[in-house]
C-alpha cells in the first residue's frame, strides 16, 4: 500500500496518492496502546523500503522529571525489518500495519538503538535547532540552513553520525513531548517537500498517539497502586482483628500464668536438689517465663504507643544498648564495636523506645549467630538524615522471607513470637524514620534513617 517510487522521486505532491498511505499510518497508530510497540511501529513505518521515505528515524521523548530530551529508539532501514500488512480488499481505508515481537526485540537490541538511548539532551543548552523544534513546536530541515552543521547541531552522540536531517516535533495537547529525527545517510538523497509534509502529518498524529499511550500507562500504574493499597488495607484490617483477639486472649492468660510461674518457682526452690521433680519444675518455670515474655510483647504491640520526645543523641543510646548486651553477646563469642561518631548529632525521639529498637536488632543478630560472629554498627549523615546501619555475620535473610520479616507474628524461630521487627518498625515509623533490611557480606544489614534536628542545649537528654 506504499506510494510508488516515481511519486516520491518527483518531489511533487499529489494529495490523492498520499491519502491511502496516510490512512494506513493513522490506522496503525490507533491499533495499539502499548507505548513500546507504538514507537517501533512509527519508526518502522518511516523507514521500511516499501514506503521510500527515510533511511533512518530516531525518536526522542521529553522526560518530565529530569527535563532532558531522552533518546528512546533508533531504526535504520533493514531488509529484515518488515511490517505485517493487515488489509481488507473490500475497504482499503481500514488497512494497517502490525509489527512482530521479534522485530521489536531486534530493533531494541540493535547498535543504533543503543547509541540513541545513550543520548540525553539538556534543553537548557543554547541550541537553535532544539529551540525551534521543542520550544516553538516547528519542523526543522537542516537542508534549509547551510550555516548549521548537521553533525553537531542536535547534540547527538558523535557515534550516530547524523548527516542532513529533518527534526519534527511531537506535539500533544500539553505541548511538545518529543521529536522524530530522520535522515538518509546511505544514499545522501535530499528530503523533498512531499516527504516533509508527510512527516509533519505523521509526527502530529504520533504525538497524540504517544501521549495517549503514556496516559494509559500512567492510568494502568495508578490502578495497580490503588489495587495494592486496597489489598494492604484489607490486610491491615485483618491484622487489626487478629491483634484485637490476641490482646484479649493475652489479658485472659496473663493472670493465671503469673500464678503458675509463681507456684512453679516455689516448688522449684522447695524440691531437693538433683531430683527428677526439680528438673520438671525448672522446665515449668522457664516455659512460663517465655510465655510471659510473649504475652508482654503482644500487649506492647497492641497498645497504642505514647511517645515521650526529647533530644536524643543516638550514639549515646546505642552505647548504652551495647553495654546492656555486652555480657550476653560475649558469652556467645559475638564481638560488637561502638560506632564511630565524630560529631554530636541529635534526633527528636523517645530514648526508651529507640533502645527497644536497637536491643531487638542486636537480639535478632545474636540469634542468627549461635556460633559467634560480629555486629558492626555505622552512623552516617546524609541529607539531614541520620543513617544507622547494623550488620551481622549470621548468614542473612533468605530472599523469599525478606518481604515477610516485618509482618506481625512472622517467625522462623521455634521460640519466637515474630513481634520483634514489627515493634521496631512501628517505633521507627512513629519517629518519622524508615527501616530496611538487606543482605550484605554473608549477613543481614538493617538500615534505619531518622530525621536530624538542630540542638544547642545540653540539658535533660542524651
Ligand atoms: N539479623 C537477622 N538475620 C537473619 N534473619 C533475621 C534477622 N533478623 C530477623 N530475621 C528473620 O526475621 C524473622 C522475624 O524477626 P522478628 O524479630 O520479628 O521475630 P523473631 O525474632 O522471630 O521473634 P521475636 O523477636 O518476637 O522473639 C526472624 O524469625 C528471622 O527469620
Ligand atoms: Mg526478634
> How many whole angstroms from 386 Cα to the centroid of ligand 1?
24
Q: CA-CA distance, 434 to 247, in Å (whole number)?
A: 27
State residue 148 phi and psi, 5-degree precision.
-95, 135
Q: What is the pLDDT of residue 6?
A: 40
For residue 20, what is its C-alpha cell?
491511502
Domain ranges of the chain: 5-221, 231-302, 310-453
> How many whole angstroms from 420 Cα to the centroid of ligand 2?
4
Q: Which fold has domain 310-453?
A: Heat Shock Protein 90 (3.30.565)
Q: Which fold has domain 231-302?
A: Helix Hairpins (1.10.287)
For residue 116, what is its C-alpha cell?
540513541
| pLDDT higher than threshold 90 for residue 370 | yes
**Ligand 1 pocket, mutate which of 390, 392, 420 (most atoms under 8 A from CB):** 420
Query: Which of 80-84, 202-206, 213-217, 264-268 comes out lowest in average pLDDT?
Result: 80-84
For residue 390, what is its C-alpha cell?
547494623
Q: CA-CA distance, 243 to 422, in Å (whole number)?
A: 12
Q: CA-CA distance, 365 to 190, in Å (whole number)?
A: 70
> How many whole angstroms from 374 Cα to the centroid of ligand 2?
17
- Give 216-242 as a DSSP string: HHHHHHHHHHHHHHHHHHHHHHHHHHH
- Closest-CA residue, ligand 1 atom 25, reads 420
- Closest-CA residue, ligand 1 atom 8, reads 364
Confidence category of residue 304, pLDDT binned at 50, 70, 90: low
pTM of the entire structure? 0.53
For helices 314-331 and 351-367, what crossing angle results, to 10°?
30
Strands 84-86 and 165-172: unpaired
- Give 303-343 as a DSSP string: SPP----EEEEHHHHHHHHHHHHHHHHHHTTEEE-PPP-SS
Strands 373-382 and 434-440: unpaired
pLDDT, tens only, 105-119: 999 999 999 999 999
Residue in the block written with cell 533468605: 398
Ligand 1 contact via 390 beta carbon (within 6 Å): no
Could you report how far apart the first and last alpha carbons of the chain are, in Å?
80
What's the rounded mean pLDDT across residues 288-315?
82
pLDDT, tens only, 78-108: 877 789 999 888 887 889 999 999 999 999 9
Quick one: which atom of ligand 1 is closest to the CA of 297? 26
Residue in the block written with cell 516499501: 50
> How many whole angstroms from 211 Cα to the centroid of ligand 2?
50
- Mean pLDDT (the chain) is 87
pLDDT, tens only, 341-361: 767 788 999 998 999 999 999
Residue in the block written with cell 545540653: 458
Ligand 1 contact via 426 beta carbon (within 6 Å): no
Q: What is the pLDDT of residue 322?
A: 94
**Domain 5-221, CATH:** 3.30.450.40
Length of the chain: 462
Quick one: which atom of ligand 1 is closest to the CA of 365? 1
What percent of the chain lies above the pLDDT cut of 70? Answer: 94
| pLDDT higher than threshold 70 for residue 305 | no
More confident residue, 2 or 60: 60
Amino acid at each position: 500500500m506504499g506510494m510508488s517510487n516515481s511519486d516520491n522521486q518527483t518531489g511533487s505532491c499529489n494529495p490523492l496518492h498520499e491519502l491511502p498511505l496516510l490512512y494506513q499510518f493513522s490506522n496503525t497508530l490507533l491499533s495499539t496502546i502499548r507505548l513500546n510497540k507504538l514507537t517501533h511501529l512509527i519508526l518502522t513505518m518511516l523507514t521500511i523500503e516499501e514506503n521510500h521515505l527515510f533511511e533512518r528515524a530516531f525518536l526522542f521523548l521529553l522526560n518530565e522529571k529530569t527535563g532532558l530530551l531522552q533518546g528512546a529508539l533508533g531504526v535504520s532501514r533493514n531488509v529484515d525489518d518488515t511490517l505485517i500488512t493487515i488489509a481488507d480488499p473490500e475497504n482499503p481505508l481500514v488497512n494497517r500495519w502490525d509489527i512482530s515481537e521479534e522485530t521489536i526485540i531486534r530493533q531494541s537490541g540493535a547498535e543504533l538503538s543503543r547509541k540513541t538511548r545513550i543520548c540525553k539532551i539538556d534543553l537548557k543548552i543554547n541550541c537553535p535547532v532544539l529551540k525551534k523544534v521543542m520550544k516553538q513546536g516547528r519542523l526543522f530541515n537542516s537542508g534549509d540552513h547551510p550555516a548549521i552543521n548537521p553533525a553537531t547541531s542536535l547534540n547527538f552522540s558523535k557515534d550516530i553520525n547524523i548527516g542532513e536531517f529533518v527534526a519534527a516535533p511531537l506535539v500533544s495537547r500539553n505541548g511538545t513531548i518529543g521529536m522524530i529525527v530522520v535522515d538518509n545517510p546511505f544514499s545522501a538523497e535530499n528530503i523533498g517537500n512531499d516527504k516533509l509534509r508527510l512527516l509533519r502529518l505523521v509526527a502530529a498524529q504520533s504525538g497524540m498517539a504517544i501521549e495517549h499511550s503514556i496516559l494509559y500507562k500512567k492510568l494502568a500504574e495508578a490502578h495497580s497502586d490503588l489495587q495494592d493499597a486496597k489489598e494492604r488495607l484489607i490486610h491491615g484490617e485483618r491484622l487489626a482483628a487478629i491483634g484485637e483477639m490476641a490482646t484479649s486472649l493475652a489479658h485472659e492468660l496473663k493472670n493465671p500464668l503469673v500464678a503458675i510461674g509463681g507456684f512453679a518457682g516455689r516448688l522449684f526452690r522447695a524440691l531437693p536438689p538433683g531430683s527428677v521433680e526439680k528438673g520438671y519444675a525448672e522446665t515449668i518455670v522457664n516455659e512460663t517465663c517465655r510465655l510471659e515474655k510473649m504475652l508482654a510483647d503482644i500487649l506492647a504491640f497492641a497498645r497504642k504507643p505514647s511517645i515521650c520526645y526529647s533530644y536524643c543523641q543516638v550514639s549515646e543510646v546505642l552505647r548504652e544498648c551495647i553495654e546492656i548486651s555486652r555480657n550476653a553477646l560475649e558469652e556467645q563469642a559475638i564481638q560488637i564495636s561502638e560506632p564511630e561518631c565524630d560529631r554530636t548529632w541529635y534526633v527528636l525521639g523517645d530514648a526508651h523506645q529507640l533502645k527497644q529498637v536497637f536491643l531487638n536488632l542486636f537480639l535478632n543478630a545474636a540469634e542468627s549467630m549461635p556460633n559467634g560472629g560480629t555486629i558492626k554498627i555505622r552512623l552516617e549523615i546524609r541529607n539531614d538524615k541520620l543513617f544507622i546501619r547494623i550488620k551481622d555475620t549470621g548468614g542473612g535473610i533468605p530472599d523469599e522471607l525478606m518481604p515477610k520479616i516485618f509482618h506481625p507474628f512472622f517467625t522462623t524461630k521455634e521460640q519466637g513470637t515474630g513481634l520483634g521487627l514489627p515493634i521496631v518498625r512501628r517505633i521507627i515509623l512513629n519517629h518519622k524514620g524508615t527501616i530496611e533490611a538487606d543482605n550484605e557480606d554473608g549477613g543481614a544489614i538493617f538500615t534505619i534513617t531518622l530525621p536530624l534536628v538542630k540542638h544547642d542545649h545540653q540539658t535533660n537528654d542524651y
